[in-house]
Structure 1
C-alpha cells in the first residue's frame, strides 16, 4: 500500500517530502511503528527467558533485585540455639597463628562439651595433612645426644589426640570438593565420610566435582560425620546466593556441612528428592530430610536464607572458650559451628547482605533456614508463570500504550510497576522467590520506547505546522564544553601543590559510645563543616577515609598562594571542630580532637584510575610525607604540623620548630614545625614566648643540654606538650649523651 502510494506520487510528479504529508497520515505510521517496536521488545524478553537469546544484563538485574528483596526483608530474629565459635583476630593474637596444634583444637572441642555442655559442633575447617611436630621427627636423635631424655615419654601425637577427642563428642567435620582439576593439581587427599542415603529413582543433576580435600582418615573415622563447605554455584558476580545441598562423587551423594549437621541431629535419616511438574517438564523441587522440606532448584541448590547482616548470630571467640572466660551455661545445648572470621584466613565471602561475610555464618544461616523451614522456594512452574506474565503484560502495553499521551502513559506505567512489585513481594513473604527483573525491564523498556515515539511524533507534527506557516525552527544545538584538546586519561601533570591530611582522634571510641543508627548523622555533622572550611579557602577535596580527610591546594585551578591558603584552611577546620564540639558536649557526647599535617612540594595531579572509574587526585612522595606529618601530631601533642617546604611558601606565618626528624620511608631528615598564627596577629607575650622557645631549641640542637633544660623550664607554659617532651629527652641525653657527631635528628619508625 505504501509502495503504491509512492509510485503514484512519482508518476504524477507530486513532491513526496515527508514534511508535506498531513500529520494524521504520519501519526498512523508512527503508531504502527510503536506497535512493531513494542512487540519486538516482548518477543526479545520471551526469547531470553526460554534461552534462545542470551541477555547477561537481565541476569545481573535479577541478582540485584533479589539482593534488594533480601536486604529489605531481613527478620533480625536470631535463633539463640545457634552460635559460632570464632577463630577471630583476637584468638590468633592470643593463641598463635593458624593452623593451631591439633592438641589445642582437641582442647577447644573438649572444653566446648565438658565445660560448656554444647549440643553439636560443626567444624568449618579441614584437617587434610598430618601434624608434623619437630619433637616427634627428631626425638630419637635428641635422645641419643641427650641420654637424660630416655626417661621421658615421646611427645604425644596431635592427630591421635584430636581423633580421641572427636570420638567422645558429637562433632561433624568439614571438607571441600573442587569442581575442576588442573593437570598440576595433586590427587584427592583425606577420607570422605559415609555418603548420604538418598532415595533416587533416576540420577539427578547434582554437581559432580573432580577432586576433594578431606580430613585425615584417623580423624574422619572418629567423627560422627562430615559435610563439604565449598560452593560450586557462586553466581558470576561472585556473590553467594544459593548453595548445592548435595554433590555426587563416584556415584554417591555427599551433603554439605549444614545438611550433614541436620542429618546428625535427626539420626541420619534418608533423603527423599521431591519431583515437581511445571511448564511441561519434571524437575527436582525439594529434598525431604526426615520430615524437613528443603526447597531446591533443578540442580539441587538452595537459596541461603539471610536473617541479618554480619554478626546476626552469636559469636564466641575461640580464645574466650579456651581461657574459660564465658559465662557458665553460655553454650549449653547449642548447635555450634567452629570457623574463622579473621581476614587473614580467607574464609570471607560476598553475599547479598554484606560484601565481606564469614563463611561459617553462611553455613549457620542455611542450617537455621532448614530448622525453621524458612528457605525460599523456586518451584518448577516459575518459568511458565514468568512467560505468561511477560506475554500478557507485554500484549496489554503493546495495544494500550500507543493510544496514551505522555502523562497518562507515566501514570499507567506507575500503576503496573507498583502491581508487579507488590505481587512479587507478596509472593516473597509467602516463601516464593519469583523473578522480577524481566517484568521490570519490560515495563521500563516499553515506557521509554513509547515515550520516545510520542516525543518524535509530536515533534514531526510541530515541524509540519511550522513549515505550513513558513516558520523556521532551528535544531537544538548541543554545545561541546571541552575547551582544549587535552586528554583526560590516566596521565597527570606535575605541579607544586600543598597537600593536607586530617584525622579525628579517638573517633573509634567516640563512635562506640553512640548507637549505630546515629553514626551516619554524626559523620555528616562532622565532615560537612570541615569540608566547608576547606572549600572556603580554595581547597580541593581528594577523598574521605572514614573520619579522615585528604585535600590539596593549587589544582585544578592554579593558586600561587596554595600553601598560605592551605594553612588558613587548616585553622578554619580547627575552628569548625570547636563549634562541633560545643554541640556534641551539649548533647552529652565526648569532644573530639583533630590532627592536621601539611606538606608542600612537587606532586603528580590529574585524572587517575582505570577505564571503569576515574578520580582527580594527587600522588607522589610529597603526598606520602603529608600523611606522615599528620600522624606525628599525636606524638608531639599539637594540632597542626607542617614541613619546612610549606613554611618557605607561606612566610607570613609564625612557626615554632618542633623537631628535626627522619620519618618512616624517607632517609633525608627534615624540619617539622607548628604554625602558631600570622605574624601580624601575634601578641607581645606570644612573640616573647616564641623567641624563648626558639632559643631553647638552639641550645638543644647545640647539645648544650644543661642550658637547654634551664631555658625550657623557664618557659611560662609548662603544660605545653613539646616542652615536656624536650625536658624528657634532655634527661635521657644527660644520662646517656649522644655521640659527638650528633646531628639532632630524631628518627620515627612508625607511620
Structure 2
C-alpha cells in the first residue's frame, strides 16, 4: 500500500509541476494572460535599474530650469516671448551653449494671449484702455530661433474625445527612415505643435509625450518615432541627436523573433539605439531626480553664472516650478521631471548605454522556462526537503547571476516568470513531500504499531536520531517466551475459538512488552520473540526487558483468572532473556523482508527459555543480562552447557528488584547461592545439608539439586569435574 501511495504521490507531483509550467507558458504566448506576472516583471526591472545606477553625470549636459525663483524674479508663466528670446540669446551669445532643446510648446500666438490678458486688466483699470495692448513677441522669438541651434518640443495625443479641438500649430519636417512604411510605431490622433513661424525658424522639433507608459503609470520605455498622416516624426531627444550630427537618414535594424522579422534597433548616423518592435527605447536611467545639472533660468537671464559654465553644452529648457512641474513616475523615483527624462534619453544615445531587449529574448524565455520547468518537475520528486531547498537555491542563484550578468552586458532578460516558476515548483513539491512523508509516517505507525510500542513509533517519527534498516551490530536484550501446555489446551477447542483464545492471550502479553518499550520481532504460535535496544537506542534495555518479562507474567495471571472462570485450564509460561551483541536490521529475501535480530546471543536467549521448564521457573537470564541490571536481585541456578554452544554459561533467575525484597527473601536468596557454591565445589554433603534446609519452600530448583547430589553421591564425578551440567535438548 505504501508503494502504491508513493506512486500516486509521484504522479501527483509530476502533474502539478507540469501544470505550473504549462500555465506560465500559456501566459508567455498570450493564451492565458496573468496580469500579476507583468507587474512582477516591472518590479524586477525597476529593482535592477535601482541596483545599477551609475550616479556619474555627463558634465556636457544640463537643464535650464524655470524654477520657483525664476517665476519670482521674472514673473508668472507664460513669460512674454521677448523674455524667452532674451533667454535664448543669452545662452548662445553670452554663454556659448552648443544646442538647446525646448521641453515647452508655444501653441498660441502671444497676441491672442496678450489681448485676453489686456481685456481682463482693463476691466479692473479702465484708464489703461487708451494705451492699447503691448506688441506680440512672436516675431522677436522667431527671429531669435532662426539664429541659433534650437530644437522645439511638441506633443501628440494618442486618442481624442468628441469635444477635443483639431490639431493646433504645425509639425516640423518629418525624418527620413529607410523602409519606414513597414514600421509598426504609434499613430496618434491629434497633436499640439508650435506656431508655424516659430517651428519654421527652429532647427527642428521633437515630441515629448509618451503613449507607451506602462499600466502602473511608470515611464520605462519611450517611443522614438510616431507616425502622423504617413510621415514619421522623432522624439525630442532623437531630434536633438539628429540636429547635432546633421540629420542623417535613420536605418532600421531588423532581427528575428518568434519566427518573424521584428524591429530591433535604429541606426542614426552610427549611433545605434535598441528599440522594441514599436520603436520604443528603454530609458537608460543614470540616477535619481537631479542627476543632471539644473541651472535656474533667472540666473541665466541675469548672467549670474560663470561665463564658461555652459560653453559648448547641450541643454534642455524645462520647468520645475510648482504648478508648472512636468512630473512623471519612474523606476528611480515617483516624482521625476519630464525634461530630465528627455535628457536621460539623450545621454543614453550619446553614450550608447542603452539596455536592449532583442526579439530573440521572448523565445529564449520560452525555452528556458520550459527546460527548467521540466527539470524541476521530474527532479524535485526524487529529492528530500533539504536537498530540494539546496537545489532550488542553487538554480535560483545561477538564474539570478546569469540574468544580472546579462544586464551588465546591456541585455534585459525577463525574470518574473522564472521567479514564479522557482517559487511555485519549490512550494508545490515541498508540500507534496511533506504530505507524502506524513502519509508514510502514518502508514508506518499503523503497521509497525502492531509490533513496536506506539510511544516508540512516535519517538521514531519525531526524534532526530538516525535510524537505518541496514544490518548493524548493537548490544541489545532479546526475550523468548513460550506458553506451556498450550498444545494440549488447544486440542480441546474448535479452530474458530482457538483463534479467538490466541488473540486474547497474545494481546495482553504484547501490551506488557510494549508498555516497557520492547519491540515484537515475531509470533511463533503461542511463543513470542521480542527485543530491546532497537530501532531506537536504549541504554537500559536489560532492565526494561526484565520489567517487560514480569509484566507478561502478571498479564498471564489475569488471563488465567478469566480462563478458570470460563472452565478452561490455567496456563504457565517460560521466559528466557539474554543480553549481548546482536545483528539487527531489515533481513529476508527479495520477496519479503522483516526487521529482526540474529546472532549467537539471540540463540542463547531461545535456549534459556527452553531451560525454564527443566528448572521449573518462569524466567531465566544469562549472566550478561545480570551485569546490565544492577537494580535487580538474582539467584544463581546452574552453570550449564546448552545445545549448540560449547562454552558453559551461568543461568540465573531474577528474584525481583532489590528495593522490593523483604529481609526474609534476601536471606533465602543468599542461602541458595551458598548451597549452589557448595555444589560447584563438589562439597556434596554440605550442599545437601544447605539445600535440605531450603526444602520446605517447595522450590523446584532445590528439589532438582537434591536429586543431582544423591546421584553424584552414588556415582561421584571425575576429579576434574567443573560443575557444568550439559543439556542436550533445546
Could you tell me which residue of structure 2 aligns to residue 363 of structure 1? Answer: 342
2: CA distance between counterparts of 1:147 and 1:399?
88
Per the alignment, residue 338 of structure 1 pairs with: 317
> CA offsets per residue over residues 652-706 of structure 1, 9 Å max, x none?
xxxxxxxxxxxxxxxxxxxxxxxxxxxxxxxxxxxxxxxxxxxxxxxxxxxxxxx
Which of 234, 250, 257 does residue 213 from structure 2 map onto? 234
Q: Where in structure 1 do 4 or more consecutive aligned residues deviate above 4 Å?
A: 134-139, 145-150, 470-474
How far apart, in 1, do the equivalents of 2:314 and 2:263 lie? 29
Q: 1:57 aligns with which of 36, 45, 60?
A: 36
Structure 1 position 346, deviation (Å): 3.9
CA drift of 1:171 comes to: 0.5
Contact 2:180 2:232 in 1 (8 A): no
3-state SS of 1:344 partner:
coil
Give the drift of 1:464: 2.5
Q: Which residues in structure 2 correspond to 1:209-248 (within 5 Å)?
A: 209-248=188-227
Equivalent residue number for residue 413 of structure 1: 392
Distance 2:117 2:394 in 1: 75
Displacement of 1:341: 1.9
CA distance in structure 2 between the aligned counterparts of 1:276 and 1:192, rounded to whole angstroms: 31
1:721 corresponds in structure 2 to none
CA shift for structure 1 position 137: 6.4
CA distance in 2, matches of 1:113, 1:326: 14
Tell me, in whole angstroms, the C-alpha distance in 2 between the residues paired with 1:95 and 1:136. 17
Question: Is residue 274 from structure 1 mapped to residue 253 from structure 2 by the alignment?
Answer: yes
Residue aligning to 2:471: none
The residue number in structure 1 matching 2:144 is 165
- Equivalent position to 2:114, from 123, 126, 133: 133
Matches within 5 A, 1:34-183: 34-131=13-110, 132-134=113-115, 155-183=134-162
CA contact (8 A) 1:177 1:228 kept: yes
8 A Cα contact 1:136 1:155, kept in partner = no
How many Å separate the matches in 1 of 2:433 and 2:377?
Answer: 14
TM-score, normalised to structure 1, is: 0.57
The alpha carbon displacement at 1:88 in A equals: 1.6
Other-structure match for 1:697: none
The 5-angstrom pairing of residues 306-317 of structure 1 reads 306-317=285-296
SS state at 1:345 partner: coil
Q: How does 1:719-738 map to 2 (within 5 A)?
A: none
Rounded Cα–Cα distance in structure 2 between residues aligned with 1:464 and 1:97: 83
Deviation of 1:444 (Å):
0.9
Partner of 1:386: 365
Q: Secondary structure at the match of 2:10?
A: helix
Query: Aligned to 1:203, which of 173, 182, 185?
Result: 182
CA contact (8 A) 2:354 2:410 kept: yes
Q: Secondary structure, in 3 states, of the residue corresponding to 1:439? A: helix
Q: Shift in Å at residue 136 of structure 1?
A: 9.8
1:296 to 253, 271, 275: 275
What is residue 425 of structure 2 aligned with on the other side? 446
Which of 382, 403, 406 pairs up with 1:427?
406
How many residue pairs get matched?
Answer: 448
Does structure 2 retain, via aligned residues, the 8 Å contact 1:258–1:363?
yes
Which residue, 12, 15, 32 being the options, matches 2:11? Answer: 32
For 2:284, what is the secondary structure of its paired residue?
A: coil
**Counterpart secondary structure, 2:417:** helix
CA separation of 1:146/1:462 partners in 2, compared to 1, >3 Å: closer, same or farther? closer
Q: Find the residue that maps to 1:459 and give its secondary structure.
A: helix
Deviation at 1:99, TM superposition (A): 1.6
Give the distance between the partners of 2:369 and 2:289, measured in 1 at CA.
Answer: 36
1:36 and 1:136, CA in 2 relative to 1: closer, same or farther beyond 3 A? closer
CA contact (8 A) 2:87 2:301 kept: yes
- Give 1 or 2 for the bigger CA radius of gyration: 2
- CA gap 1:438/1:266 in 2 versus in 1, 3 angstroms: same
Give the deviation of 1:94 after TM superposition.
Answer: 2.3
Cα distance in structure 2, aligned partners of 1:134 and 1:43:
66
Aligned to 1:398: 377
In the TM superposition, residue 23 of structure 1 has moved relative to its aligned partner by: 2.6
Instruction: Report the CA distance between 1:161 and its aligned residue.
Output: 1.4
Structure-2 change in CA distance of 1:409 and 1:63 (3 Å)? same
Deviations 1:431-466 (A, max 9, x none): 111111111111111001101111111121223334
Q: Which residue of 2 aligns with 1:190?
A: 169
* Alignment RMSD: 2.4
SS in 2 for 1:191: coil
Give the C-alpha shift of residue 25 in structure 1: 2.2
Q: For residues 135 and 87 of structure 1, what CA distance do their matches in structure 2 show?
A: 24
Residue number in structure 2 paired with 1:622: none
SS class of match (2:317)? strand
Looking at structure 1, the residues matched to 254 and 299 of structure 2 have their Cα atoms a distance apart, in angstroms, of 46
Does the CA-based 8 Å contact 2:118-2:133 persist in structure 1? no
Structure 1, residues 393-435: CA drift from partner, whole Å, max 9, x if none? 1111111000111111110000100100111111111111111
User: CA–CA distance in 1 between the matches of 2:280 and 2:366?
Assistant: 23
Instruction: Measure how far apart 1:187 and its partner are.
Output: 0.5
Counterpart Cα distance in 1 of 2:391 and 2:156: 51
After the TM superposition, which residues 314-713 of structure 1 pair with which residues of structure 2 at under 5 Å, given as runs? 314-468=293-447, 469=449
Shift of the alpha carbon at 1:24? 2.8
Cα shift at 1:180: 0.4
State how far apart, in whole Å, the 1-side matches of 2:56 and 2:267 are: 25
CA distance in 1, matches of 2:374, 2:154: 51
- SS of 1:188's equivalent in the other structure is coil
Paired with 2:392 and 2:108, the residues of 1 have a C-alpha distance of 61
Distance 1:183 1:374, change over 3 A: same
- Unaligned stretches of 5+ in structure 2? 459-730
Cα pair distance change 1:38/1:228, threshold 3 Å: same
| Change in 2 beyond 3 A, CA 1:400/1:233 | same
Instruction: Write the distance in 2 (CA, Å) between the matches of 1:242 and 1:198.
Output: 21
* Contact in 2 for aligned 1:207/1:299 (Cα 8 Å): yes
Instruction: Assess if the C-alpha contact under 8 Å between 1:135 and 1:155 holds in 2.
Output: no
Q: Distance in 1 between matches of 2:14 and 2:53?
A: 42
